[in-house]
Amino acid sequence: MQEALIEKGKQYLANTYNRYPIAVTKGEGCWIWDMDGHRYLDLLAGIAVCNLGHVHKDVLEALISQAGKLFHASNLFYMEPQIRAAELLVEHSFGQRVFFCNSGAEANEAAIKLARRYSWKKYGQGRYEIIVMENSFHGRTLCTLSATGQRKFQEGFEPLVEGFKYVPFNDAAAVEGAISEKTCAVMLELIQAEGGVYVADKRYIKALRDLTGKKDILLILDEVQTGVGRTGKLFAYEHYEIDPDLMSLAKALGNGFPVGALVGKEEVMDVFEPGTHASTFGGNPLAAATVTATLNTLLGEGVIRHCEEMGKHLVNRLLSLKEKYPFIVDVRGKGLIWGIELSIDGDAVQREFLKEGVILNCTKGKILRLVPPLVIGSEEIDIFLEIADRIFEKAQKR
């Protein structure tokens, strides 16, 4: 049955993913099941989406309750679920205003538009360039693809949107050298997740905040993957003791329900006026209900503290494996987002994990990316580590 469905998928679906050879049908907590009843430990969580695990009861109840009242209404109306969700984001972040959309790419697109308009209203024409980082990833729309600092994602889609200048990550001097009279913003991820789980240095981020403040340039943080508890803080910028001007969110914000958001300071966000930007489905009642349930659960049940504790448990054991196996080049990350860089074929290793019932991701062909649900326990982590030790031992003997 599963093989027949997969063949049908190959026939009817656009070939835009290197899909794993399983058809998943059910999820619960940190586990998912395929059509044949095989269970898998999910260390991918929908790519950092299901932070509370699959089918979390509070999110499910909120979604069902709201579905019985109102699916959708135009953003021409005020909607209580949307306002409650925005209030929570404002109360627990640096921001004062929220724009809701449907995805991380949309949130980043909104940030780019807003940065240009803010500068245009304040300084007039010509100040539109945004400095972005090499090895970054900001989305798949033509604009966010242009902001992405990885050539492989851009090939064949030229001409790209102009107005982006690429500089090395973790290099404040390079950013300063790239600033010109055309610059309106600096945009970056605090952890380059798709790029291989590279973590921003604290001094680098503080230098960027000082530099952008002096130059009256906006600092935009892409927290699509690092936000909503992933790093052991509600938002990753909290580790750096700075406040950005704008922050994009998505992925885990609705724990699996599609929703994105742009959070920002009032003076910046208020240059979005009626008619300047919009999203038909952005923050609709269903999405907003999942945001509120997700945030309340994260904040009220100790999930973020648990994430930090489990992250320490995981990395200590990973570092032991690094000592044991020379082909593990590096282990890096924060909270429960980790990259294991290998000197051997990472895609082949990822396939071995799948055979052993563990789902994880390989990026750049060499880096295993771990983004499990934040509710994962030490028992599940130890299951993964035992399997990892076994797979790495086999790899070393080859």
H/E stretch holding 165 reads: strand 164-167
Q: How confident is the model at residue 397 (pLDDT cuts 50, 70, 90)?
A: confident
Q: How many angstroms separate the CA atoms of 141 and 154, rounded? A: 11
C-beta of residue 117 within 8 angstroms of C-beta of residue 111? no
C-beta of residue 316 within 8 angstroms of C-beta of residue 293? no
Please list the helix, strand and coil fractions of the chain in percent, rounded to the nearest 5, in that order: 45, 20, 40
Residue 54, judged by CB atoms within 10 A of its CB (0-12, 13-18, 19+), counts as buried
Rounded to the nearest 10°, the torsion over CA 245, 273, 105, 219 is -20
Lookup: tokens for 213? 């403040």
C-beta of residue 338 within 8 angstroms of C-beta of residue 359? no
C-beta of residue 172 within 8 angstroms of C-beta of residue 211? yes
Q: How confident is the model at residue 354 (pLDDT cuts 50, 70, 90)?
A: very high
Q: How confident is the model at residue 6 (pLDDT cuts 50, 70, 90)?
A: very high
- CA distances (Å), origin 245, targets 48, 98, 157, 223, 235: 24, 12, 30, 13, 14
Residues 66-90 have pLDDT tens digits of 999 999 999 999 999 999 999 999 9
H/E stretch holding 206 reads: helix 202-215
Q: How many angstroms separate the CA atoms of 40 and 25, rounded? A: 12
C-beta of residue 117 within 8 angstroms of C-beta of residue 78? no
- CA distances (Å), origin 81, targets 85, 87, 283: 6, 10, 9
Is residue 398 pLDDT above 90, yes or no?
no
pTM above 0.85, yes or no: yes
Rounded to the nearest 10°, the torsion over CA 7, 9, 12, 14 is -120
Q: Domain limits of the chain? A: 57-300
42-60: average pLDDT: 98
pLDDT at res. 1: 83
Percent of the chain with pLDDT over 90: 98
170-186: average pLDDT: 98
Residue 240, judged by CB atoms within 10 A of its CB (0-12, 13-18, 19+), counts as buried
Residues 318-350 have pLDDT tens digits of 999 999 999 999 999 999 999 999 999 999 999
Lookup: tokens for 346? 């990472």
Which one of 3.40.640.10, 1.10.540.10, 3.40.50.1980, 3.40.50.10470 gives the CATH number of domain 57-300? 3.40.640.10
Residue 288, judged by CB atoms within 10 A of its CB (0-12, 13-18, 19+), counts as buried
C-beta of residue 279 within 8 angstroms of C-beta of residue 287? no
Residues 277-294 have pLDDT tens digits of 999 999 999 999 999 999
Is residue 358 pLDDT above 90, yes or no?
yes
